[in-house]
Amino acid sequence: MPDLPGNAIARADGSVGTAGRPGAPAPIIVSAELEGEAQAWAEGLRRRFYLPERNKVPAHVTLFRHLPPSLENELRRLLAEFAAEPPPRARIGTPYALDGGVAIVLESPDLLDLHAHLRARFDHHLTPQDDHPPRLHITIQNKVAPDVARATLALLRQTVRPRPVRIAALACWHYRDGRWDLIARYAFRGRG
């Protein structure tokens, strides 16, 4: 195999592409989104507290951060199968500090089970970051000064109330040089 630049990807057909070009193979992110009112609430918090130039994707819960593009077809088939089931139950938890931001815990044994199933299926392809149960959360603010993050956390600790929510959909995205390009969204269709 020839030496390739750092962001180059050798395709199965022998051609070479880069993860930064539209249409080129790129790592895959898997996320979940909340149902209706809860999603609108999370979006409102992100609009209020996230730096506008960094708020490029809808409010979400990241399940996997870096799956290889070679898994895309199998991943899409599995996500479609999961979406035929009832929506996972979840619960909004408490806000907590990130390094330079704030997130809100999402408690969901159902989503953790889904993650474990995919983790077992793709175990030889996972990065260290994806090879363990995630700390489910919704990022509300990121990459801000420490005093700004502390003020946001103090405010959210006073106003966020734990409550049950449902997960509306799963999505997979190509990650290209900081941009998330939607591959597909899978709304849960089962009755729960």
> In the chain, what are the domain boundaries?
8-187
pLDDT at position 192 is 62
In this prediction, residue 120 carries a pLDDT of 97
* pLDDT above 70 for 6: no
* Stated pTM of the model: 0.86
**Contact between 125 and 71 (Cβ < 8 Å):** yes
- CATH number 3.90.120.10 is the correct assignment for the domain at 8-187: no
Q: Which residue has the higher pLDDT, 192 or 43?
A: 43
Q: Count the Cβ atoms, other than its own, within 10 Å of residue 105.
A: 17
Q: What is the pLDDT of residues 133-174, one digit of tens each?
A: 999 999 999 999 999 999 999 999 999 999 999 999 999 999
